């Protein structure tokens, strides 16, 4: 009788080099640990006092930021389960442009709580089922926590109300100045139907030097270079945009020309010059006074453009070229020649100015009544890293405006919404039968991570702040219910009771959040009174994406990794390098 040795379960099934991690090896626990590691990386960057991270990517470029989306994009995450969390964060960034950190932190906390339940003996199916029920209840409950909404999109003060909190999480201290800049830029490009607002219409140009207070909004576009020719200024001009080179056309094949004397040589180049001069004159006759080139401009062509007093500027980026076409209302032409009247654009002012020692060209529409197609925020700052971080904050603000056009509802910030959700989900768990209630209870506890992290980053005692927040929410709730009982007992008129119910609606009890700026002695503050408001849509998306990614990670019981595709072997060191 031969001795049978148990081999791996996939023996002979896959090619050699495969790695497999089974449930018996603790694959779920390993996945949770990997996700928690990435969650803890960005957790300390949550909120206005969030810590910055220095990330040096594979190209040795340095990023100094507290923006979770940027940190995760530049970190080369390899673990497949952790990649799921990164993908959820990227989806939040593309959908809302804000609350990317909340997705990672909340998903990481959900998985941490799930690990506790797994060690208690619950099956992953029970946890996933409980999380699904809790998510449905949370999204319904969130609808009831609305405390304000943007009534007028075209009001700078109303827009700033929603933007200040978003920008404060990236640039604490400069939020009001930046919110005013973003509001001004957005209102300059906001179309008649706000739902058609395009985030691409607000550009940022960073110019080193000066301070952030010197930043301003330009209605139009700013390019960080001077015009190529001698003409530096134009007013009320027609614009021609060419994506082809402005030069003599090159032949596809090389030819040989035999020149017998000097006269033939002069005649040869003269014909070429005449053709180019005729083309530039054709441009001039059609009324074009500004030429924008998306490719090279030849020296001879530049000479004739200067002679005809046509301003010419090179823009090598096709994205910038496309934006400029929107500003001036032109069509980019792939051929050199006079554009048709409907292919030309119009610009009020093209001028070269100096900002902080840098010469820049400004394309500006001056008519105050018309809505310009593009606005540029010219940012000033001391270092490149600081300017990059401010640009990310502005990008978040502009994306939030896009989200507001779809859903203008606001909920209290500073962790007040999360704590109220934790309370209500916990109450819902007590009414739920079966094993799912344990998962729902843990789901409620996971929401505590937001106020706890905010308190820790502000240097407060997190446990004490959480207990005070719970007390404040409970006390206000009780006092509200007592007032309602008194109203029922007393014989008031119908009108008075209506007025009182309106007052109750105006002052909800769930707005107490963490005091991040040290204005109160208790460490808690009324978020509604302080104007700390978050967008309901971005909260809703963050909760949905975090829960979905956590449930997906928990549903995985095996990871099979194929061997990397083999290519040619990289050349090694010459073994005989020291021989002559």
Q: What is the pLDDT of residues 456-502, one digit of tens each?
A: 887 777 788 888 887 877 766 655 555 445 444 444 444 444 333 34
Q: Which residues in the chain show pLDDT less than 70?
A: 1-26, 249-253, 356, 366-372, 475-510, 517-523, 559, 561-570, 572-573, 577-580
Report which secondary-structure segment, H or E, holds 439: helix 436-446
Q: How far apart are CA 265 and CA 251, in angstroms?
A: 19
Q: How far apart are the first and last CA of the chain?
A: 64
Structure letter (DSSP) for residue 10: T
* Strand 409-412 to 148-149 pairing: antiparallel
Name the H helices within 145-261: 156-168, 175-189
Q: Where are the domains of the chain?
A: 18-147+414-475+533-562, 220-250+263-371
Apex CA 279: angle with CA 277 and CA 284, to 5°? 90
What lies within 8 Å, CB to CB, of 23 at 6+ separation is 557, 558
Domains 18-147+414-475+533-562 and 220-250+263-371 share a fold: no
Return contacts of 255-263, CB within 8 angstroms, 24+ apart. Answer: none
> 18-147+414-475+533-562: what fold?
GROEL; domain 1 (1.10.560)
Q: What is the pLDDT of residue 4?
A: 45
Q: Into which CATH architecture does domain 220-250+263-371 fall?
A: 3-Layer(bba) Sandwich (3.50)
Classify strands 533-535 and 216-223 as parallel, antiparallel or unpaired: unpaired
Written as one string, the DSSP assignment of 513-580 is EE-SS--SSSSEEEHHHHT-EEEHHHHHHHHHHHHHHHHHHHH---EEEPPPPP-SPPP---TTTT--
**Cβ density class 367-400: b for 16+ within 10 Å, e for less:** eeeeebbbbbbbbbbeeeebbbbbbbbbbbbbbb
**% of the chain beyond a pLDDT of 70:** 82
Q: Residue 518: its pLDDT value, please?
A: 67
């Amino acid at each position: 009788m031969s001795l049978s040795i148990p081999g791996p379960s996939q023996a002979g099934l896959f090619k050699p080099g495969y790695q497999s991690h089974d449930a018996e090896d603790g694959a779920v626990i390993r996945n949770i640990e990997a996700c928690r590691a990435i969650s803890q990386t960005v957790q300390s960057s949550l909120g206005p006092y969030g810590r910055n991270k220095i990330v040096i990517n594979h190209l040795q470029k340095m990023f100094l930021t507290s923006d979770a989306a940027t940190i995760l994009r530049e970190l080369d995450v390899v673990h497949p389960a952790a990649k799921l969390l990164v993908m959820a964060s990227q989806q939040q960034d593309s959908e809302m442009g804000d609350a990317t950190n909340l997705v990672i932190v909340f998903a990481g906390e959900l998985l941490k709580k799930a690990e506790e339940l797994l060690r208690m003996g619950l099956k992953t199916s029970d946890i996933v089922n409980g999380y699904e029920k809790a998510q449905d209840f949370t999204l319904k409950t969130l609808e009831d926590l609305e405390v304000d909404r943007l009534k007028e999109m075209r009001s700078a003060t109303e827009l700033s109300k929603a933007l200040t909190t978003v920008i404060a999480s990236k640039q604490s201290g400069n939020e009001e100045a930046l919110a005013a800049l973003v509001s001004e830029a957005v209102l300059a490009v906001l179309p008649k139907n706000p739902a058609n607002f395009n985030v691409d219409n607000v550009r940022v140009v960073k110019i080193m030097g000066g301070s952030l207070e010197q930043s301003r909004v330009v209605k139009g576009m700013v390019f960080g270079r001077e015009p190529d020719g001698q003409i530096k200024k134009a007013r009320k001009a027609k614009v021609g945009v060419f994506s082809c080179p402005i030069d003599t056309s090159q032949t596809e094949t090389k030819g040989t020309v035999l020149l017998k004397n000097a006269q033939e040589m002069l005649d040869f180049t003269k014909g070429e010059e005449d053709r180019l001069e005729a083309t530039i004159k054709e441009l001039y006759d059609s009324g074009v006074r500004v030429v924008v080139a998306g490719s090279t401009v030849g020296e001879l062509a530049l000479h004739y453009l200067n002679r005809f007093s046509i301003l010419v500027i090179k823009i090598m980026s096709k994205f910038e070229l496309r934006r400029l076409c929107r500003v001036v209302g032109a069509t980019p032409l792939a051929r050199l020649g006079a554009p048709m009247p409907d292919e030309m654009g119009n610009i009020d002012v093209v001028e070269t100015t100096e900002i902080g020692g840098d010469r820049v060209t400004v394309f500006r529409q001056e008519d105050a009544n018309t809505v310009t197609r593009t606005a540029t925020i010219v940012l000033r700052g001391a270092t490149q890293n600081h300017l990059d971080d401010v640009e990310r904050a502005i990008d978040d603000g502009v994306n939030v405006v896009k989200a507001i056009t779809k859903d203008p509802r606001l909920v209290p910030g500073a962790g007040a919404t999360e704590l109220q959700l934790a309370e209500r989900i916990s109450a819902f768990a007590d009414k739920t039968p079966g094993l799912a209630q344990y998962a729902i209870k843990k789901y409620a506890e996971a929401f505590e991570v937001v106020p706890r992290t905010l308190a820790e980053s502000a240097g407060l005692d997190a446990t004490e702040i959480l207990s005070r927040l719970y007390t404040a929410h409970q006390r206000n709730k009780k006092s509200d219910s007592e007032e309602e009982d008194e109203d029922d007992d007393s014989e008031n008129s119908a009108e008075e009771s209506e007025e009182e119910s309106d007052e109750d609606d105006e002052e909800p009890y769930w707005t107490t959040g963490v005091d991040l700026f040290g204005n109160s002695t208790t460490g808690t503050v009324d978020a509604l009174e302080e104007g700390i408001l978050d967008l309901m849509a971005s909260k809703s998306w963050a909760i949905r994406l975090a829960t979905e990614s956590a449930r997906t990670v928990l549903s995985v019981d095996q990871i099979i990794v194929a061997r990397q595709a083999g290519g040619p072997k990289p050349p090694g060191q010459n073994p005989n390098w020291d021989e002559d």
